[in-house]
Amino acid sequence: MLDFFTIFSKGGLVLWCFQGVRGPAAAATAPVNALIRSVLLQERGGSNSFTHEALTLKYKLDNQFELVFVVGFQKILTLTYVDKLIDDVHKEFRDKYRNEFQQKGTLALLNGTFDFKDDFTRLLREAEESSKTRAPVAMKTFEQSLKSQKTIKCMIETRGEKPKEKVKPKKNKGSKKEGIEVVAPGKAPAGEKQLPGAGDREELSKDEILQKNREEFFKRHMKAGERASKSPKPEAQKEKGKKPRVWDLGNSNAKVLDYSNSATNGSTEPGPVEEFDPDTALGDRNREPGRLYDLEYESDDETEEEKIVPNPSKTSTKKGGLGGMFGMLKGLVGSKSLTREDMDPVLEKMKDHLIAKNVAAEIAVQLCESVAKKLEGKVMGTFTTVTSTVKQALQEALVQILQPQRRVDVLRDVLDAQRQHRPYVVTFCGVNGVGKSTNLAKISFWLIENGFSVLIAACDTFRAGAVEQLRTHTRRLNALHPPESHGGRTMVQLYEKGYGKDAAGIAMEAISYARNQGFDVVLVDTAGRMQDNAPLMTALAKLIAVNAPDLVLFVGEALVGNEAVDQLVKFNKALADHSMAQTPRLIDGIVLTKFDTIDDKVGAAISMTYITSKPIVFVGTGQTYCDLRSLNAKAVVAALMKA
Amino acid sequence: GMAGALEPHMETLRRELRAPDPAVLSVLLALIAVAITILLWRFVQGRRSGRRAVLLLGLCDAGKTLLFARLLTGKYRDTQTSITDSSAVYRVSSDKSTNVTLIDLPGHESLRLQFLERFKAAARAIVFVVDSVAFQREVKDVAEFLYQVLVDSTVLKNAPALLIACNKQDVTMAKSAKLIQQQLEKELNTLRVTRSAAPTSLDAMGGPAQLGKKGKDFDFSQLPMKVEFVECSARGSKGEEGDADFEGLEKWLAKVA
């Protein structure tokens, strides 16, 4: 049932290939290449399965001998034996050719003929049979189940009731359950006559317990608290013999609750003067009047909710003695292969370090998972510790993520567009307040310095002062680069149609205006919008789909933390959903702004590039026109790994 | 304390020098001889293994790994995208007993610069493999990678010989080496301007190096290293069973080794 199974070295040579059900040999290379490019090279190695068109691919890495094992099968099938098959094949292949790998290295891979077919067919047969041998389990009859043996009494839950069961009463209506749910009897249908009978007397005595539980629950879940308060009412109505419930604040009349003093409602008399103690109000007596002190730097230990996972290293430190010492010595001298247990404490620490550096939490987790997969089973060199190996691998992974997957050269593309006599259109999108208009002005300054004329399209028709802001920038830029020094043509012009109009329409008109007037670049400024705001996201998607800009830049601030993931995912999703084309225009690049406000907490760069796998095109480091930089991957990673 | 402890040793040494005891003297001489041998050996080793590597660079799917396999074994192998480097010793086929280390580096965008960093210092020569069939489409990417290799400070300092191998000539649509050279020169000319005008990177250490001569159009002859263009086909015109067509490449390798 498998489509193919390949074994190849990490250097690219295919060692052995099995063609399964159908397909020529070439059918295996394209999906495997896609697997390598999207999973292994983008550090998404956490999960071991990948879908490509109609195939599902599962893979396993052998880090000791640098091999990759990939199996492909149809997506619609769910084969349960695949994982076991890969593990068995891995072990078998490695043991069979272990000597060759160890002795001859690359030449062994090149010259060796790996005749693995018989072993593979045997393992495949074994795996298929093992999945078939489990006979279908016959369903238990009702008499056999535990439920028929329960009595009504033990079904009543009093203490330790879970809040979730409040949702269940809706199901009770249809079922003929013999048990009752005391937790939310308010919705119990009239059909269950047993309720007032046996259960009630027990309710009466357990009134206080219920009330206490309800108050506790009310404190924890505010929403569900409303349901708790609703239920006592129908209870009280059912049996008149019940004691009315006494709440702390209920049943008292309004007079007791009125804490305002008599002088209210328009009276201008001041209330009783409180004792004003200047000491407590002013605080420090010895301060100089009028001076504003600096913020004192305290090392803050942020309580992070992510630290739920108990540290597994606690158990590993218990085992020690002679075995531990031997292991350490062996580790120092080399030829020790890394196991998951060795790496886990180090990876935990690295993950926390990354999160402290403002990398989004889920991305830090995925990164560490991927690094663990890459290092598992690898043989460490002499005198290298686990920490240094893991750190090295993580550093390489981070540099890899920050390397752009496509060319980042705006000027080159503008030259191309110039040659084709059409303007190069750049659109800026992002949430509110990240610096779109500011960085748009910086980029237009940079383009003017390089001799390109720019048309700014003011498609932010919503925010007050957006058009005026761009007009001020235009005036300033024209003052810095007057037409006289550029052969008599104005380098910057603003195209605006005021407020309240449709942004997509303005953009389209601006582009045709630029084409007629011969502008080289059109920079389209859009309004900031939250990623959850569906109508605004639709409007943005429409603007991009209709005008087909050459470059869609997402502007994100470097201060953002976990929000970056949400913003980018939702923006991309909106652009993909509302596009009519086969290949929708997604975000092409990222502008990282406010980089000067973070010292070395540069994690936002990693989060953004990891999510979109698109490069960071510009970095904004201030509010003047010269504060525009390009990303230096090594410097960012160095700042990230610095302790 | 310390001086007092050394005194008896100094005494014995002086006594030995004045009245040499053959046993101790021979031990001393042997030690000195061993030390000198080790130093010499390391010196020679260092000089010999300084730059013996020939790097295979290029974009993804240019055919580097297949070329690597063909050069070393002469046989055709199926290949996938490389994730890591492979290196092996290549014995030049002429009667010279020299050998070079062929290193095949991955071409994927996220890896290529990292691996280049690692191996550029040991590079004696660079083979830049170009896919002649997809060249028209990829000319900008090829030129960008070539530019990054050429402006690298280590490469400029060592000036390893550069061979641009126009691969996949067995396909009829492949461009000729001459055309590729012209296109690359034009593209690199433009790239010089746009790359130096790009916004400076964070923590930039000086500007990017200038490629070629200012004022004149870029030409490969303006570079400090020797550049040659050669056509080859790793797959070979006779398909997978036949040999690869790369005599030009083999001759160049023999020259460089």
User: Which of B8 and A552 is assigned the larger pLDDT?
Assistant: A552
Q: Is residue A292 part of a domain?
A: no
Closest CA in chain A for residue B141: A407
Which stretch of A89-98, A229-238, B100-109, B153-162 has the lowest confidence by average pLDDT?
A229-238
E-strand spans in A467-536?
Answer: 492-495, 521-526
ipTM computed for the complex: 0.75
Nearest CA to A586 out of A402, A361, A405, A403 is that of A405
State whether A629 and B73 contact (CB < 8 Å). Answer: no
- Residue A261's pLDDT is 65
- Residue A570's pLDDT is 92
Which of A374, A402, A430 is the endpoint of a domain? A402
Mean pLDDT of B199-205: 66
Q: Which residues on A lie below 8 Å from B139 (Cβ)?
A: none
Domains in chain B: boundaries: 49-198+210-256
B79 CA to chain A: closest CA distance, Å? 5
Q: Which residues on A lie below 8 Å from B88 (Cβ)?
A: 105-107, 110
Measured between CB atoms, does B82 come within 8 Å of chain A? Answer: yes
User: Which of A456 and A79 is assigned the larger pLDDT?
Assistant: A456
- Residue A99's pLDDT is 77
Q: Which residues on B lie below 8 Å from A378 (Cβ)?
A: none
* Gap between the Cα atoms of A91 and A336, Å rounded: 18
- Start-to-end CA span in chain A (Å): 51
Mean pLDDT of B137-152: 88
Structure token pair of residue A154: 């033990």
State whether B80 and A405 contact (CB < 8 Å). Answer: no
Look over chain A and give the mean of its residue pLDDT values, rounded to a whole number: 76
* Gap between the Cα atoms of A440 and A455, Å rounded: 11
In terms of domains, do A356 and A499 share one? no
Token pair 């003011």 is at which residue?
A: A458
State whether A629 and B106 contact (CB < 8 Å). Answer: no
State whether B87 and A405 contact (CB < 8 Å). Answer: no
- Residue A173's pLDDT is 46
Look over chain B and give the mean of its residue pLDDT values, rounded to a whole number: 80
State whether A629 and B80 contact (CB < 8 Å). Answer: no
* Gap between the Cα atoms of A521 and B165, Å rounded: 37
In terms of domains, do A392 and A416 share one? no
The domain in which residue A75 lies consists of 4-130
**Pairs of CB atoms within 8 A across A/B:** 129
Measured between CB atoms, does B205 come within 8 Å of chain A? Answer: no
Mean pLDDT of A67-78: 82
Which stretch of A96-110, A306-320, B136-150 has the lowest confidence by average pLDDT?
A306-320
Mean pLDDT of A426-446: 92
Amino acid at the residue A343: M
Which residue intervals of A319-451 are DSSP H helices?
Answer: 321-333, 340-356, 361-375, 386-402, 410-419, 436-449
- Residue B53's pLDDT is 84
Measured between CB atoms, does B203 come within 8 Å of chain A? Answer: yes
pLDDT per position as a tens digit, A444-466 = 999 998 888 999 999 998 888 99
CATH of the domain at A520: 3.40.50.300
Mutate: best of B72, B110, B118, B196, partner A, most A CBs <10 A = B110
In terms of domains, do A480 and A501 share one? yes
Dihedral over alpha carbons B185, B187, B192, B198 (to 10 degrees): -170
Answer yes or no: are the C-beta atoms of A75 and A51 closer than 8 Å.
Answer: yes
State whether A33 and B113 contact (CB < 8 Å). Answer: no
Pair type for strands A521-526 and A454-459: parallel
Q: If you classify domain B49-198+210-256 with CATH, what class do you get?
A: alpha beta
| pLDDT level of residue A275 (50, 70, 90 thresholds) | low
Angle (CA) A362 A366 A370, round 5°: 170
Mean pLDDT of A581-591: 87
B50 CA to chain A: closest CA distance, Å? 21
Most confident segment among A31-35, A104-108, A291-295: A31-35
Mean pLDDT of B119-136: 87
| pLDDT level of residue A286 (50, 70, 90 thresholds) | low
- Residue A443's pLDDT is 92
Pair type for strands B99-104 and B86-91: antiparallel
Which stretch of A167-176, B56-65, B148-157, B248-257 has the lowest confidence by average pLDDT?
A167-176
- Residue A174's pLDDT is 42
Mean pLDDT of A189-200: 43
Answer yes or no: are the C-beta atoms of B126 and B55 closer than 8 Å.
Answer: yes
State whether A13 and B79 contact (CB < 8 Å). Answer: yes
Which of A380, A402, A424 is the endpoint of a domain? A402
Which stretch of A462-466, B40-44, B240-244 has the lowest confidence by average pLDDT?
B240-244
Rounded to the nearest 10 degrees, what angle do helices A386-402 and A633-641 cross at? Answer: 140
Predicted confidence (pLDDT) at residue B21 exceeds the cutoff of 80:
no
Measured between CB atoms, does A626 come within 8 Å of chain B? Answer: no
Of B85, B110, B200, the CB nearest to A400: B110
Most confident segment among A374-383, A445-454, B48-57: A445-454
State whether A632 and B73 contact (CB < 8 Å). Answer: no
Most confident segment among A146-150, A577-581, B179-183: B179-183
Q: How far is CA B247 from CA A103, B70, B71, B165, in A?
A: 31, 12, 11, 11
**What are residue A10's phi and psi, to 5 degrees?**
-65, -20
In terms of domains, do A470 and A618 share one? yes
* Gap between the Cα atoms of B126 and A338, Å rounded: 35
In terms of domains, do A574 and A488 share one? yes
* Gap between the Cα atoms of A370 and A380, Å rounded: 18
Predicted confidence (pLDDT) at residue A81 exceeds the cutoff of 90:
no
Q: Which residues on A lie below 8 Å from B72 (Cβ)?
A: 107, 110
Predicted confidence (pLDDT) at residue A375 exceeds the cutoff of 80:
yes
How many Cα atoms are found within 13 Å in the side-chain-facing hemisphere of B135? 27
Predicted confidence (pLDDT) at residue B122 exceeds the cutoff of 80:
yes
Closest CA in chain B for residue A113: B77
Of B80, B82, B201, the CB nearest to A32: B80
B76 CA to chain A: closest CA distance, Å? 10
B125 CA to chain A: closest CA distance, Å? 20
| Residue A457 bridge partners (DSSP) | A495, A524
Mean pLDDT of B62-84: 83
Mean pLDDT of A311-332: 52
Q: Is residue A314 part of a domain?
A: no
Q: Is residue A155 part of a domain?
A: no
- Residue B194's pLDDT is 83
A positions 84-143 inside 8 Å of B (CB): 105-107, 109-111
Token pair 């056509």 is at which residue?
A: B231
What is the number of domains present in chain A?
3
Which of A130, A148, A180 is the endpoint of a domain? A130
- Residue A312's pLDDT is 41
Structure token pair of residue B190: 């433009």
Predicted confidence (pLDDT) at residue A158 exceeds the cutoff of 80:
no
* Gap between the Cα atoms of B103 and A331, Å rounded: 30
| pLDDT level of residue B99 (50, 70, 90 thresholds) | confident
Q: Which residues on A lie below 8 Å from B201 (Cβ)?
A: 629-632, 635
Most confident segment among A174-188, A318-332, A431-445, B13-27: A431-445
Measured between CB atoms, does A472 come within 8 Å of chain B? Answer: no
Within 10 angstroms of residue B163's Cβ, the number of other Cβ atoms is: 23
Which letter, b or e, does each residue of A492-514 get, where b requires 16 or more Cβ atoms within 10 Å of its Cβ?
bbbbbbeeeeebbebbbebbebb
Predicted confidence (pLDDT) at residue A472 exceeds the cutoff of 90:
yes
Percent residues over pLDDT 70 in chain A = 70
Predicted confidence (pLDDT) at residue A190 exceeds the cutoff of 60:
no
* Gap between the Cα atoms of B217 and B188, Å rounded: 9
State whether B194 and A409 contact (CB < 8 Å). Answer: yes
Mean pLDDT of A345-352: 90
Element (H, E) at B138: helix B135-150
Most confident segment among A323-337, A505-519, B22-36, B224-238: A505-519
Each as own residue / partner, the long-range contacts of residues A460-463 (CB below 8 Å, 24 or more positions apart, any chain) are A460/A503, A460/A525, A460/A526, A460/A527, A460/A528, A461/A497, A461/A498, A461/A499, A461/A500, A461/A501, A461/A502, A461/A503, A461/A506, A461/A527, A462/A499, A462/A527, A463/A527, A463/A528
Predicted confidence (pLDDT) at residue A229 exceeds the cutoff of 90:
no
A positions 58-77 inside 8 Å of B (CB): 66, 68
Mutate: best of A629, A637, A640, partner B, most B CBs <10 A = A629
- Residue A281's pLDDT is 58
Mean pLDDT of A581-594: 88
